[in-house]
Amino acid sequence: MDINKILEQVKNGILSPEEAEKILKQLPYKDMGFARIDHHRKLRSGFGEVIFCEGKSDEHLIQIYKHFATENIDVLGTRATSKQYEVVLKEVSNIKYDPVSRILKLENENKLLQGLVAVCTGGTSDIPIAEEAAQVAEYFGSCVLRVYDIGIAGIHRLFSKIEEINTANCIVAVAGMEGALPGILAGMVDKPVIAVPTSIGYGANFKGVSALLTMLNSCAEGISVVNIDNGFGAGYLSTQINRLVINGGKK
């Protein structure tokens, strides 16, 4: 029973106000419109369905993808293994897998991409995380400019690309090891930079902690950080900003 049915019954004298009040407070919050905020957000924003594949059982995964395939709804899975792909493929033929980004996707064609998000990496080893960010941004509707391998070892390439990068509405900067790229970029552009530390490196890198700390301590302005290897989070957030800009905050 939803809220306006209850109110109708109050109006019609079927329910007393006291009874109605009691019922209203018993109702799950989602029935009272609270959850609708959440739901509306999904509908309004067009951020499609996403699942985290790592650690999910094969049966569970097949079930999920079959469901979305049947309903003809797009769905993007992150951190899928090639083995998971093979297992799901047997049941859902139009599934797509990218071994670099480890994204396992069911997606209708002809998606409209808008605005621009730049995804940059310090080195070539950071590309898997960058591709996760880039493909997530595309899945959510952003055009993506990829500029890879422009860290300290390739800093001259960065200089030749900086103007183009700055045409994006939001910049995702992915770097492992010393993690200096996001700070260098933020010092040269005037767009928000989302820094993604990667676990690339060894020794005193501590699986990405070194890069994470570098980014948090950047003295450049206009930079913020997500979790180590969190390409998905950066792809989502960059698109959120990109859309706000395109729509002038109207969405």
- Determine if 93 is a binding residue for its own copies (CB under 8 A): no
- Determine if 137 is a binding residue for its own copies (CB under 8 A): no
Binding its own copies (rule: CB under 8 A), the pick from 38, 70, 83, 109 is: 38
C-beta of 7 vs 94, nearer to its own copies:
7
Binding its own copies (rule: CB under 8 A), the pick from 89, 143, 145, 244 is: 244
State the maximum Cα–Cα separation within the chain, in Å, rounded to a whole number.
77
- Determine if 17 is a binding residue for its own copies (CB under 8 A): yes
What is the smallest separation between the CB atom of 94 and its own copies, expressed in angstroms?
26
C-beta of 47 vs 69, nearer to its own copies:
47
* Part in contact with its own copies (CB under 8 A); list of ranges 69-77, 81-89, 142-150, 233-241: 233-241
C-beta of 105 vs 191, nearer to its own copies:
191
- Determine if 213 is a binding residue for its own copies (CB under 8 A): yes
With a CB cutoff of 8 Å and minimum separation 6, the contacts of 22 are none
- Determine if 35 is a binding residue for its own copies (CB under 8 A): yes
Q: What's the token pair of residue 210?
A: 């070194």
* Part in contact with its own copies (CB under 8 A); list of ranges 29-37, 62-70, 89-97, 103-111: 29-37
- Determine if 113 is a binding residue for its own copies (CB under 8 A): no
Cβ neighbourhood burial of 187 (10 Å; 0-12, 13-18, 19+): middle
Binding its own copies (rule: CB under 8 A), the pick from 78, 84, 135, 214 is: 214
Binding its own copies (rule: CB under 8 A), the pick from 33, 87, 91, 149 is: 33
- Determine if 82 is a binding residue for its own copies (CB under 8 A): no
* Strand duo 142-147 + 223-225: pairing: unpaired
Binding its own copies (rule: CB under 8 A), the pick from 122, 134, 148, 165 is: 122
- Looking up tokens 């369905």, which residue turns up? 49
Binding its own copies (rule: CB under 8 A), the pick from 7, 94, 108, 111 is: 7
C-beta of 86 vs 99, nearer to its own copies:
99
Picking from 133, 114, 118, the residue whose alpha carbon sits closest to that of residue 189 is 118
* Part in contact with its own copies (CB under 8 A); list of ranges 67-75, 87-95, 141-149, 174-182: 174-182
Q: What is the total count of residues that contact its own copies (CB under 8 A)?
A: 105
